[in-house]
Amino acid sequence: MPQNERRVALVTGSGRGIGAVIAAYLGTAGYDVALHYWHGESRARAIAATIRAHGGEASCFYADLSELDTPSQLVAEVLDHFGRLDAVVNNAATVVGRAFQDVTAEDLDHAYHLNYRAPFVISQAAAAWMIGHGVQGAMVQITSVHQERVTDWDSVYGSMKAALARATESMAYELAPYGIRVNAVAPGRILTPEQAGLADPKREALVAEGIPLGVSGQADDVARAVGWLLSPAAHYVTGITLRVDGGLNLPMHRALIGQQLEFI
């Protein structure tokens, strides 16, 4: 690739939350950015405009990734527009907020299609182009600490994220001979820009007591981790899940015993 040619990154779920912040960050890190959205078109377009204003290229792509053919079609549209693809961040996901006994077959199918099948197929399509064009690209799957950590109503979300983390290892193994790296980032308690303005300071202080570093993370923390994993600085890193959780998933638990937090 010529020295003056910018790399192209696709970020799914760029219309809000962590995905929007990742897309904006990559735009400042020298990437041209394909912003996928299903919800949050105005935010995605605003980020794209900012990237263009700073000399980069960015374009927005609408797709319902839960549909059968749209994941591969999205990659084809990005390639048709930009002509190349060097990095993929599979961030789009859905949460099924139901107890295990209340999860419906429709809930399960929708979550599977969006949380597992879509990133799997997008990664396949991107890898096929990279291999065919000799591009040693990189991919990051956004998983969650809930791939390991059980909490209320996460039987679907947690298990899908665990499956994606495991698939990341297989992708990394099979794509390594082509110089394509695949990793995962597992966020913990992250306050997105949308959530930060609505957060109750008292509740946040209580939540922070259960996090070893004593504070919730910000979406920028995840974006920087993704940026590092995609960058040449991580050229020898593949097949890992990088937790960005302030130590939340360390093997510990604290409980309120006699009005005092104690390790148990």
DSSP-derived secondary structure letter, 95: -
Q: Out of 25, 157, 178, 236, which one is annotated catalytic?
A: 157
Whole-angstrom distance, CA of residue 153 vs CA of residue 60: 33
Whether 31 is catalytic: no
Q: What is the pLDDT of residues 57-90, one digit of tens each?
A: 999 999 999 999 999 999 999 999 999 999 999 9
Q: Please, which contacts does 197-205 make with residues 24 or more away whose CB atoms are closer than 8 Å?
A: none
Query: Which two three-digit tokens encode residue 138?
Result: 């990189």
Whole-angstrom distance, CA of residue 57 vs CA of residue 82: 9
Q: What is the pLDDT of residues 196-218, one digit of tens each?
A: 777 788 888 888 888 999 999 99
Whole-angstrom distance, CA of residue 132 vs CA of residue 147: 33
Cα angle 176, 115, 227 (rounded to 5 degrees) comes to 50
SS3 of 220, please? helix
Q: What is the CA radius of gyration of the chain?
A: 19
φ and ψ at residue 97, rounded to 5 degrees: -90, 65
SS3 of 146, please? helix
- Name residue 113's beta-bridge partners: none
CATH number for the domain running over 7-199+216-251: 3.40.50.720
Annotated domain spans of the chain: 7-199+216-251
Q: What is the pLDDT of residues 108-128, one digit of tens each?
A: 999 999 999 999 999 999 999
DSSP-derived secondary structure letter, 234: G
Residue in the structure block whose two tokens are 């899940």: 241
- How many other β-carbons are positioned within 10 Å of the β-carbon of residue 29? 18
The per-residue pLDDT for 262 is: 65
Query: Which two three-digit tokens encode residue 184?
Result: 């995962």
Whole-angstrom distance, CA of residue 68 vs CA of residue 74: 12
The per-residue pLDDT for 140 is: 99
In the chain, what percentage of residues exceed pLDDT 70?
94
